[in-house]
């Protein structure tokens, strides 16, 4: 397995081959800049931090419109009414809670990295940031953790303790990863995990999938199709740069579990074939998810997870309408 280089310019996120519980907890501060704004509207409205399209009494001012029979007279905008001589009333956006459920892959194929951190660590970074951001947005947070030899699911709850329990189990699965496991298949497939989500997830949930999706098959896509009908689904594909492009021309010793081999990258043709095959896999995943309407965010092991999520989930400008 290739060694990991620690970059001094990425101090905010965990690096290396393993996570630490303290590091996952400390990401709470970085998550304060994130506002999760799923693209689809939940069908069940509860008290919470996301805005719905319904108008009524709520926390945030929405607009001023002409008075209609049945409007609350306490919300009449007397200044606009006096200026236009036509009765106008203020409307407000109601707030709703949206459960957030995070699927994080911590199986042996994720236990790989050539620069900065392993894929399993980057997946944990993303999961922790999303969990803290959802909790800060007053949403209930739950998760489905996919370890190499086990799988566990927690129901969405709105509490610090729920997130801490989730991160503790995530750290446990991460630190159980070993090089020797690469030679044996994982006990549970991604399709099994998605099947569990489909059976247990309530309508109106924000689902965040974090994996390299190396074993996403047609069965898994069918489960994703069902999940997308009544939920908001995001996919975060974790990859290492070495999986996209071979290293500079030379001879390298690589290992997978107890197996070792020499890889010669001096052939320009072999390098081109490797890059083409990698691009084909990326295109196939993107096409499959696009057909389902699932946004795909590709995250390299060298990326700063905070900056990556900040680009995806930007804080809305003051006064801007939210979906």
The reply to whether 115 falls in a domain is yes
Do 112 and 154 belong together in one domain? yes
In angstroms, rounded to a whole number, what is the distance separating the alpha carbons of residues 249 and 214? Answer: 26
Question: How many domains does the chain fold into?
Answer: 2
Instruction: Name the strand (E) or helix (H) holding 195.
Output: helix 190-200
DSSP 88-142: EEEEEEEEE---EEEEEEESGGG---SSSB-HHHHHHHHHHHHHHHHHHTT--EE
- Higher per-residue confidence, 151 vs 317: 151
Do 225 and 284 belong together in one domain? yes
Query: pLDDT by residue (tens digit) across 96-105?
Result: 567 999 999 9
Do 132 and 188 belong together in one domain? yes
The reply to whether 112 falls in a domain is yes
Do 168 and 65 belong together in one domain? no
Mean per-residue pLDDT for 267-293?
A: 93
Do 201 and 220 belong together in one domain? yes
Instruction: Name the strand (E) or helix (H) holding 215.
Output: none
Do 75 and 133 belong together in one domain? no
The reply to whether 181 falls in a domain is yes
Do 56 and 116 belong together in one domain? no
Domain that holds residue 54: 50-96
Indicate the pTM of the whole model: 0.78
The reply to whether 230 falls in a domain is yes
The reply to whether 239 falls in a domain is yes
**In this structure, what CATH number is given to the domain that contains residue 293?**
3.40.50.410
Do 116 and 262 belong together in one domain? yes
Query: pLDDT by residue (tens digit) across 54-83?
Result: 344 344 566 788 988 878 888 899 999 999
Q: Enumerate helices (H) and strands (E) in the chain, giving the number of each.
A: 8, 11
């Amino acid at each position: 397995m290739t060694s990991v280089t620690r970059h001094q310019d990425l101090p905010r996120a965990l690096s290396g081959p393993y996570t630490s519980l303290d590091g996952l907890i400390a990401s709470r501060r970085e998550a304060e800049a994130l506002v999760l704004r799923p693209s689809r509207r939940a069908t069940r409205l509860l008290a919470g931090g996301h805005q719905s399209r319904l108008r009524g009494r709520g926390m945030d001012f929405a607009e001023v419109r002409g008075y209609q029979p049945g409007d609350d007279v306490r919300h009449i905008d007397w200044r606009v009414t006096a200026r236009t001589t036509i009765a106008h009333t203020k409307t407000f956006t109601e707030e709703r809670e949206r459960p957030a459920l995070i699927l994080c892959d911590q199986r042996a194929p994720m236990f790989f990295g050539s620069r900065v951190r392993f894929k399993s660590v980057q997946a944990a970074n993303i999961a922790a940031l999303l969990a803290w951001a959802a909790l800060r947005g007053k949403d209930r947070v739950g998760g489905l953790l996919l370890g190499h030899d086990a799988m566990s699911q927690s129901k969405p709850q709105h509490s610090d303790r729920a997130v801490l329990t989730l991160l503790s189990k995530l750290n446990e699965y991460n630190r159980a990863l070993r090089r020797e496991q690469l030679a044996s298949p994982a006990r549970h497939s991604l399709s099994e995990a998605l099947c569990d989500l489909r059976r247990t997830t309530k309508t109106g949930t924000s689902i965040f999938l974090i994996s390299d999706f190396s074993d996403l098959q047609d069965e898994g896509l069918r489960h994703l199709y069902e999940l997308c009908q009544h939920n908001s689904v995001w996919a975060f594909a974790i990859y290492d740069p070495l999986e996209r492009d071979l290293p500079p021309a030379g001879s390298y010793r690589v290992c997978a579990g107890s197996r070792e081999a020499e890889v010669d990258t001096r052939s320009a043709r072999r390098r081109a074939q490797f890059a083409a095959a990698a691009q084909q896999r990326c295109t196939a995943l993107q096409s499959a998810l696009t057909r389902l309407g699932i946004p795909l965010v590709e995250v390299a092991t060298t990326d700063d997870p905070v900056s990556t999520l900040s680009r995806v989930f930007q804080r809305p400008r003051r006064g801007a309408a939210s979906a």
